[in-house]
Structure 1
Amino acid sequence: MEKYLDLTNKLISSLENSSLEILEFKMENFSLMLKKNKPIEKNLISEREVTRELDKASVKVSGFDKKEEVEANKNIKTLRTPILGVFYSSKSPDSEPFVKVGDQVKKGDTLCIIEAMKMMNELKAPYDCKVIDCLVNNEDFVEYDQEIFKLEQI
Structure 2
Amino acid sequence: MSLKEIKEILLTIDKTNLTYVNLKEKDFTLEVSKSQNTKDEILLTDSITNKSDFVETINSIAVSDDIHLIKTPIMGTYYESPGPESSSFVRVGDKVNKGDTLCIIEAMKLMNEIHSDVDGEIVEVLLKNEDLVEYNQPLFKIKTI
Instruction: Provide TM-score, normalisation by structure 2.
Output: 0.57
CA-CA distance at 1:52 after TM superposition: 4.4
CA-CA distance at 1:96 after TM superposition: 0.5
Equivalences, count: 91
What percent identity do the matched residue pairs reach? 48
- C-alpha separation between the residues in 2 aligned to 1:80 and 1:107? 14
CA-CA distance at 1:78 after TM superposition: 1.3
> Which residue is equivalent to 1:136?
127
Highest RCO, 1 vs 2 (Cα 8 Å, sep ≥ 6): 2
- Superposed CA deviations along residues 18-46 of structure 1, whole A, max 9, x for unmatched, are xxxxxxxxxxxxxxxxxxxxxxxxxxxxx
Provide structure 1 residue ranges, at least 5 long, that are not aligned to the other structure. 1-46, 56-69
- Superposed CA deviations along residues 111-149 of structure 1, whole A, max 9, x for unmatched, are 000001111000001011111101111000100011111
> Which residue is equivalent to 1:24?
none
- In angstroms, what is the RMSD of aligned CA positions? 2.4
- C-alpha separation between the residues in 2 aligned to 1:108 and 1:147? 17
More helix by share: 1
> Which residue is equivalent to 2:65?
74
> Which residue is equivalent to 1:127?
118
> Which residue is equivalent to 1:89?
80
Instruction: Provide TM-score, normalisation by structure 1.
Output: 0.54
Structure showing greater radius of gyration is: 1
